[in-house]
Amino acid sequence: MSDLRREAPARLDQPREPGRIRLPRFDPEAFGRWSEGIARYMGTAKFIFWMTVVIAAWFLWNTLAPRDLRFDPYTFTFLTLMLSLQASYAAPLILLAQNRQADRDRVTMEEDRRRAQAQKADTEYLAREIASLRIAMGEVATRDFLRSELARLAEELDEAAHRRHKQLELIHRDEKE
């Protein structure tokens, strides 16, 4: 029925359907950067120093100043309210900054995991290639193998030549006798 009212032309004898409230728009990324800046500043020694100076000045003013100039008497209720207000804004800003950092860490971790998987795949590929080369090299005569075989053949030839030489000497002796 509300759809019919929207489509129907506006009538003066019926109330208007309430419209949406238009909230101001903001860039969440810019707000996130701003909150990180605040959270980062609140974690510095500079912030702690200046916060201590302000609180000490507050205490000194409200205890040592003339009574008519004190704006927050002994129980320091206004100071407590200001510190509570500061903490109530600081906590969500710090949480927002931590969430953004966790998101960045998650993206970095996923990228590292992807790189590690790619490196593992590359390493496994190279290991397989090296293994296949070793197998292929097992089928190919190596330099050391060729040297040992040539040395063995040279010894055999020397022995055969030596035997032949002895046989020839025996034949020549037999012919002379």
pTM: 0.53
What angle (nearest 5°) sits at the alpha carbon of residue 48, between those of residues 92 and 73?
Answer: 90
| Signed CA dihedral, 164, 170, 172, 175: sign only | negative
Q: What is the pLDDT of residue 12?
A: 75
What angle (nearest 5°) sits at the alpha carbon of residue 108, between those of residues 102 and 114?
Answer: 135
Residues in contact with 79: Cβ distance below 8 Å, sequence separation at least 6, in sequence order: 55, 58, 62, 72
3-state secondary structure at position 145: helix
Whether residue 72 contacts residue 58, with contact meaning beta carbons closer than 8 Å, is answered with yes
Q: What is the pLDDT of residue 42?
A: 92
Q: What is the pLDDT of residue 5?
A: 47
The conformational region for residue 15 under phi > 0 = left, psi -120 to 50 = alpha, else beta, is: beta
What gap in Å lies between CA 77 and CA 75, rounded to an integer?
6
Whether residue 97 contacts residue 36, with contact meaning beta carbons closer than 8 Å, is answered with yes
- In the numeric block, the tokens 């030839």 are attached to 157
At 55, list the tokens.
């609180």
At 15, list the tokens.
């109330």
What gap in Å lies between CA 37 and CA 101, rounded to an integer?
12
Whether residue 79 contacts residue 58, with contact meaning beta carbons closer than 8 Å, is answered with yes
Among 86, 108, 90, smallest CA distance to 40 is for 90
Q: What is the pLDDT of residue 88?
A: 95
Domain range annotation of the chain? 25-140, 142-177
Tens of pLDDT along the chain (177 residues) come to 444 445 555 677 777 777 777 778 888 899 889 999 999 999 899 999 999 999 999 999 999 999 999 999 888 999 999 999 999 999 999 999 999 999 999 999 999 999 999 999 999 999 999 999 888 877 777 788 889 999 999 999 999 999 999 888 888 887 877
